[in-house]
Structure 1
């Protein structure tokens, strides 16, 4: 539970500063890798447990990782002999690591120097049932040119997408608003979940859903990270016609159906399922659309359009 006595809380000034694990995950990130690793070295927070994990890159990344590991003897190096995917690669380092807090750091992104210090301070100021601190980020191009912010001013004093803090399960079901690379996760939260689900093609939606059932989230209104947008990034593959993630999304929605407790949460899941149903039909993924329609029936009454899409998908599957 969130109040487990095994939790490592940095709330008392008399305690030593908490150790923060950074799992630096690399798969063919050679053009960006030095900038990413230099951003770890530039952190103003010194209490770091750094794990360099290469998921069977073929572009020279392992040589760069070996170089940095040799120069920084406290860093740990895991060179995986075959590609196992983000979830399993992350778990292999996470289960060996020691930090009270954990960053899942894709090495095509960049950490700003005060990133870890700011987020540790946010945890120190937060209740002990906060499992995640996330923040704003600057989006950059493949060449590193600025593309704007993830959370942008909406002209009315707020941000778009609107961040949410506290008990956010309904929010994470209904909409995407968290910039995944900005998260600092409490180790106890990750341990209770058993780490990432290695049967899935991606990790963030599943983690948000499972973590937010029993843990609060906290938004830190600061730009802490640069997130790189390029054609080979995982996020760039989502919602393409043959993307590898739709089956994982359906599985997460199945988990969510078992977790929702309130009418608000069930309605939020229905919003998600309707969105995913329409995406599946647009990409001619009719079998998956049928699965999504079946889940939607368990959360709300189908609209005329929902029923039409369900019938169409059943005929064309």
Structure 2
């Protein structure tokens, strides 16, 4: 093994991905990068996924298998493997997605080019359906190939992270020191990416690599498909991350960006009739920014929701 190739940890998280996990793990096995540490983590699946993971672990003796006896959700499941791992760079890989063969090799080279303060790199990805057919790419591009939306950002980008969605989570490669500084993922949350980006971006550079190296699967059982709907598991976690951001914002741009985020989440809570979340978000918005007329009307709507649905 060449001495200058850092170890990369791939933490493959599975929960009821039996339909997709073989394609996902084949894509791990097909990586051109030679210095990999692979952790297969099953979060108490009930669909036969553990048997598939066992087969792949047996066929790849260097891979590690961790079968969790109860469902602990993404953040804790990831941490269980991360604490046992040792890679200099880490990929949080959901086993309904697919890595293109050059993914790890090209992303490691890119992160090394950016220098030691690059805590995370991300890139474009292809969105695919349940049958692995092309839907579109994450970034919309002009006929000349230039990205038109959403515009990526690089550097210390807390304001961007707060104000808009422009990072496709499956494309992220994280530096181990960055995760260690944060204490891993926050296990009290239902999901990890927004919290990681908010907490890491004030101290670590994030960099966009203009390449397509990952395939992200769209399907109705994914967590993103449940956003803002009844029973959304992410709503309370999003509010908690926004509350954390209060202590991290330092510039006018960052405070304005947090106001944009909280205001948008409040609008969704009102739209989908979530009184508890709407109340918390309105209280948070009052801490972030002076209220305009529209904000006050949203506050009235939140109060009415609590009256009607209490």
TM-score using structure 1 length: 0.94
SS in structure 1 of the partner of residue 121 of structure 2:
strand
- 4+ long deviations beyond 2 Å: 154-159
Partner of 1:185: 174
Aligned equivalents of 1:35, 1:49: Cα separation in 2:
19
Partner of 1:199: 188
SS in structure 2 of the partner of residue 125 of structure 1:
helix
| Length, aligned pairs only | 304
1:213 equivalent in alignment to 2:210: no
Q: Is the 8 A contact 2:10 2:90 kept in 1?
A: yes
Q: Cα deviation per residue 1:24-83 (whole Å; 9 max; x = unaligned)?
A: 000000110110000001000010000000000011100000011011111000000100
User: Structure 1 residues 154, 266: closer, same or farther in 2, change over 3 A?
Assistant: farther
1:237 equivalent in alignment to 2:220: no
Q: What stretches of structure 1 of length at least 5 have no aligned partner?
A: 1-13
Partner of 2:137: 149
Q: Cα deviation per residue 1:73-106 (whole Å; 9 max; x = unaligned)?
A: 1100000010000000000000000100000000
SS in structure 2 of the partner of residue 66 of structure 1:
helix
Aligned equivalents of 2:148, 2:6: Cα separation in 1:
31
Aligned equivalents of 1:61, 1:229: Cα separation in 2:
19
1:230-269 paired onto structure 2 within 5 Å: 230-269=219-258
Aligned equivalents of 2:234, 2:143: Cα separation in 1:
34
Aligned equivalents of 2:3, 2:30: Cα separation in 1:
24
Aligned equivalents of 2:88, 2:252: Cα separation in 1:
35
SS in structure 2 of the partner of residue 258 of structure 1:
coil
Q: Cα deviation per residue 1:229-266 (whole Å; 9 max; x = unaligned)?
A: 00111111112133111100000000001100001100
Aligned equivalents of 1:307, 1:154: Cα separation in 2:
40
Partner of 1:26: 14
Q: Is the 8 A contact 2:270 2:305 kept in 1?
A: no
1:227 equivalent in alignment to 2:216: yes
Which of 286, 290, 295 aligns to 1:301? It is 290
Which of 285, 288, 305 aligns to 2:277? It is 288
1:16 is displaced (CA, Å) by 2.7
Partner of 1:65: 53
Q: Is the 8 A contact 1:154 1:160 kept in 2?
A: no
TM-score using structure 2 length: 0.96
1:267 is displaced (CA, Å) by 0.2
Q: Cα deviation per residue 1:105-128 (whole Å; 9 max; x = unaligned)?
A: 000000000000010000111121
Aligned equivalents of 1:155, 1:248: Cα separation in 2:
38
Q: Cα deviation per residue 1:115-149 (whole Å; 9 max; x = unaligned)?
A: 00010000111121110010000000011110010
Partner of 1:163: 152
Q: Is the 8 A contact 2:43 2:67 kept in 1?
A: yes
1:83-98 paired onto structure 2 within 5 Å: 83-98=71-86
1:297 is displaced (CA, Å) by 1.2
Which of 104, 109, 127 aligns to 1:139? It is 127
1:71-86 paired onto structure 2 within 5 Å: 71-86=59-74
Aligned equivalents of 1:269, 1:158: Cα separation in 2:
25
CA RMSD for the aligned pairs? 1.2
Partner of 1:114: 102
- Greater mean deviation of Cα atoms: 291-300 or 267-276: 291-300
1:155 is displaced (CA, Å) by 6.0
- Greater mean deviation of Cα atoms: 174-183 or 296-305: 296-305
SS in structure 2 of the partner of residue 214 of structure 1:
coil
Aligned equivalents of 2:202, 2:82: Cα separation in 1:
22
